Structure 1
């Protein structure tokens, strides 16, 4: 009895703090845990080169081994931990239902899957004045498997934390506009250490690329919030929207614009995201689909 009571006294302050400030704890843990897990990748030859070791498998292998573990540990790991500590098993079961429930028509998924490549193609064409090459059958065949992989990796690692956990709490407290601003800025800052590595261009990542990326995450957050609210918080749809960007740039874009530098993707995404954000902000008068 004495041991149990002492244990409860020892753990109750932290639990109490998390229950009082779940968002503060989430953001701190999401950034801190990811950054800590990314430290070996940043210090390796894939980063600043203080640790003379290179992650195997080339660009894909280094991202899977160097980036993905920290991405899982941060947003989704923090969201699950705080949900378990504040709501227990019932909260985790509710979280699982929200993550797997398809609440919208299949037409939504079709629109998202087609509109993202179309918007990014148009933005790249406008930026470079180059007409896209029609993708080959091999590229088209690889597109859907690549999208599934992106859903399991990028989508599952990031969106359950930033959108599924943080946005409902933030919107109840600050409304959709301010909530999106805060989450969008923190989501962008979460990526910052990776700009010291191959992921973000390493030494070639100048201030313009960094600022363009931060502007993109902020603008794209308004589109994600609108889809999140308008679809009654359908996480599969939000994850599809996010990962469709990654998948298009990874699988189709290099073949459609073979002579264009890869850095162009950053600015094409910025243009498309900014236009999308302006449209949803004007169309919803800042409510971003929240009823």
Structure 2
């Protein structure tokens, strides 16, 4: 009863603690628990909100009735960032272009694989944590906090992939912070749809390249989104992008 009471009082805090514990707990075995946010959300949501918590999380995962342009941006923005990086590097004549079918297949696999980034992370980051924080904080404040926590959570990956650790860390930090702002903007404008963010994340992962230029372009996208839509970032989040019972979904 005491544990459940603590979870009810600070559900988002408990979610992050559990997410870090699960993902980092397997590091001694040479792996990283990318599925941790999904597991943590499935554990904390019913503890703090009962069956209603799981139902609301599930509805976000299948919410497909959103403005048509959200689908266009979810797919088009990652592709545009990738193509622009290729053009700026001057690799148009030498790059081995992947067939559209191959990119689609990779994206679909990532979309349904709970051990991969999109399905393993988005139900937790955007499905549980962000709506909880936005119940009391503005989208800008919520996303800034989320960007720091999500980026720190990813840092051990730089030491697992090998290669130049410093370059990998810089790219990881810049890229993760940038796409966190992009995903938050898309999530809120898509009426709190985790499905749309899943699609965007899966497409981005299917075309991603690990260059600083690529991650720098994502940073530029984030800056444009904040500067061009600053008034929206400072307003209360849309009702669909917060928990239906704010008192059980805050980080404070």
Considering the TM-score relative to the shorter chain, is it more than 0.5?
yes
State how far apart, in whole Å, the 2-side matches of 1:207 and 1:195 are: 8
Establish whether residue 40 from structure 1 lines up as the match of residue 1 from structure 2: no
TM-score, normalised relative to structure 2: 0.84
221, 233, 245: which one pairs with 2:180?
221
Identify the residue that residue 130 of structure 1 maps to in structure 2: 91
1:23 aligns with 2:46: no
Distance change >3 Å, CA 143–CA 175, structure 1 → 2: same
Q: Aligned to 1:268, which of 210, 213, 226? A: 213
Distance in 1 (CA, whole Å) between partners of 2:186 and 2:46 is: 27
User: What stretches of structure 2 of length at least 5 have no aligned partner?
Assistant: 239-252
Q: Which has the higher contact order (CA 8 A, sep 6+)?
A: 2
Correspondent of 1:247 among 199, 203, 206: 206
Q: 2:74 aligns with which of 103, 112, 131?
A: 112
1:97 deviation in Å? 1.6
Tell me the distance in 2 between the aligned counterparts of 1:178 and 1:98: 22
Deviation at 1:215, TM superposition (A): 1.9
Unaligned runs of 5+ in 1: 1-11, 42-65, 254-264
Give the structure with the larger helix fraction.
1
CA distance in 2, matches of 1:225, 1:286: 15
1:186 partnered with 2:149: yes
CA distance in 2, matches of 1:166, 1:103: 22
How many residues get paired? 233
For residue 147 of structure 1, the aligned residue among 80, 84, 107 is 107
Who wins on radius of gyration, i.e. which is larger? 1
Kindly provide the CA deviation profile for residues 52-105 of structure 1, in whole angstroms up to 9, marking residues without a partner as x.
xxxxxxxxxxxxxx44xx222x10111111111111122212221221121214
Contact 2:12 2:132 in 1 (8 A): yes
Q: Distance in 2 between matches of 1:266 and 1:152?
A: 26
Q: 1:280 aligns with which of 201, 206, 225?
A: 225
Query: CA, structure 1 residues 208+76, in 2 after alignment: closer, same or farther (shift >3 Å)?
Result: same
Match of 2:42 among 62, 75, 80: 80
**Aligned alpha-carbon RMSD (Å):** 2.1
1:163 to 126, 142, 145: 126
Counterpart position of 2:64: 102
Q: CA deviation at 1:124?
A: 3.5
| Superposed CA offset, 1:231-287 (max 9, x none) | 1111111111112111013xxx6xxxxxxxxxxx33133222111111111121153
Q: Is the 8 A contact 1:83 1:91 kept in 2?
A: yes
Shift of 1:156: 0.8
Give the CA deviation at 1:135.
5.8
| Counterpart residue number, 1:55 | none
Change (3 A) 1:177 1:95: same
Pick closer, same or farther for the CA change 1:191–1:168 going to 2, 3 Å. same
